[in-house]
Structure 1
């Protein structure tokens, strides 16, 4: 096996999906078990869904009056649907349109049959993956030519996180209600998951960073990141990686395909 290491920092389930896709892509592109890098999962944050009957009642009441629901991430979709335990179109008298920021969220909606109904739920998302972020979704929403001062929007999110889109909507006069449907639990710095990290050669390591919050937490681990390379699918994440001291930071387009392509480019250097 190659002495290079790729570290995937997503929560466990999502990390496994990316690791399997990366490994398959490498084998399909001329790598062998001997030349492939070691792939390590380091789940810097664990997603802890909320299970609160009061919260369920509040969400259902809000949906009855909502003009639009926005999910900020696939985790927001999974945790909301797990919490509500019913199909999306059964939650309100009329199917509430949904806004999402990218391809992974669109896939999560399809997993729950949303947008695949006989009378499909309207889904709004940036068409170009280079715009898979809050700013891109807001640009797409403005194409609706709605009078935002008359609209009620629900945002499903995790505790904390970025509020740029909520602020943009409020600035437009929209009534916004945000629901936190999950918490992010940092990986214990004494967890056995760090063992492989301490043993690897940082100068030959590539870190796939997909969350600014996770990157900031990584900065607390006091690792020799100045020797390491990072790939980030958004400039905000790249900024966070630079701030905690990564030696080289590259930005790629959003989506797993772009992360895999960028990883293969790094391996060929």
Structure 2
């Protein structure tokens, strides 16, 4: 690969960003993590109680849909009881739905058997709720209950997204159209990052030095704009993993915005082609 490829700024939450920096590095691409979404446990007592109730009643659901790897990590939080040992999903015929490979990987790391996990086809044009539904729609029968395990924004009044997220609302509508029942439970909280002076300097430099900003969330784009309100992004390069995110990057003023599938090989190919 050599050093001709631009540096990549990985903006996913810290846990995923670490993984992506390592994966890109293995392909000879210099990458640095600058998480634009901070992840933490949900502190709302009522939401915690609802989460514990869901953990105790996993077998009552046809499927659990996890919106992200962080949803998995916080649902299977080791200090909380989960009535879901390594074999319980298989034993109860409850399926685990993952919108992409990162979430599926987190489920396997949490001890969920691969045979119990459903996700988009590896060659799906996107890893999102629409691609997931193409695979799992036949599972849903009238009366089935599906639990969607999600995060909530620490600033729900913001216009970054609806409370459930666009894809999740769409998925819920499809399930209900087949006679299923949808419940949502919050497993974690998303918030804006608190940048150190070093991170501010990195972001300012990366806005103009040809670095490629790998953007995988519209909310992350909004957080970046809020963290650096006076920054001009006209010289900045963005690589967005979904059309909605590309739209947000253009609205934020990114001078060059390209799109690619969120799969690692597609991201690598897109970065190498920009070198």
Q: Which range moved further: 123-132 or 46-55?
A: 46-55
The residue that corresponds to 1:211 in the other structure is: 217
The answer to whether the aligner puts 1:158 opposite 2:160 as a matched pair is no
**1:230: how far off?**
0.7
The answer to whether the aligner puts 1:104 opposite 2:102 as a matched pair is yes
The answer to whether the aligner puts 1:139 opposite 2:141 as a matched pair is no
Describe the SS at the equivalent of 2:234: helix
Unaligned runs of 5+ in 2: 153-162
The answer to whether the aligner puts 1:75 opposite 2:70 as a matched pair is yes
Q: Considering only aligned residues, what root-mean-square deviation do their CA atoms show, in Å?
A: 2.6
CA deviations over 1:181-208 (Å, ceiling 9, x no partner): 0001211256542222223461512100
Unaligned runs of 5+ in 1: 27-35
The residue that corresponds to 2:54 in the other structure is: 59
Describe the SS at the equivalent of 1:181: strand
Residue 240 (structure 2) aligned to one of 232, 240, 243 = 232
Does the CA contact (< 8 Å) of 1:44 and 1:214 recur in 2? yes
Describe the SS at the equivalent of 1:187: coil
Q: TM-score scaled by structure 1?
A: 0.82
The residue that corresponds to 1:31 in the other structure is: none
Call closer, same or farther: CA 1:139–1:129 in 2, change over 3 Å.
closer
**1:62: how far off?**
4.2
The residue that corresponds to 1:45 in the other structure is: 37
CA deviations over 1:117-149 (Å, ceiling 9, x no partner): xxx43x2211133241101111222244x43x3
Larger Rg: 1
Once residues 58 and 203 of structure 2 are traced to their aligned partners in structure 1, the CA distance between those partners, rounded to angstroms, is 44
Once residues 86 and 105 of structure 2 are traced to their aligned partners in structure 1, the CA distance between those partners, rounded to angstroms, is 15
The residue that corresponds to 1:87 in the other structure is: 85
Once residues 78 and 90 of structure 1 are traced to their aligned partners in structure 2, the CA distance between those partners, rounded to angstroms, is 17
Call closer, same or farther: CA 1:169–1:20 in 2, change over 3 Å.
same
Describe the SS at the equivalent of 1:126: coil
Call closer, same or farther: CA 1:236–1:124 in 2, change over 3 Å.
same
The residue that corresponds to 1:173 in the other structure is: 179
The residue that corresponds to 1:129 in the other structure is: 124
Once residues 192 and 201 of structure 2 are traced to their aligned partners in structure 1, the CA distance between those partners, rounded to angstroms, is 16
Once residues 269 and 6 of structure 2 are traced to their aligned partners in structure 1, the CA distance between those partners, rounded to angstroms, is 16
Describe the SS at the equivalent of 1:176: strand
**1:56: how far off?**
4.2
Q: TM-score scaled by structure 2?
A: 0.80
The residue that corresponds to 1:253 in the other structure is: 261
Once residues 259 and 184 of structure 2 are traced to their aligned partners in structure 1, the CA distance between those partners, rounded to angstroms, is 30
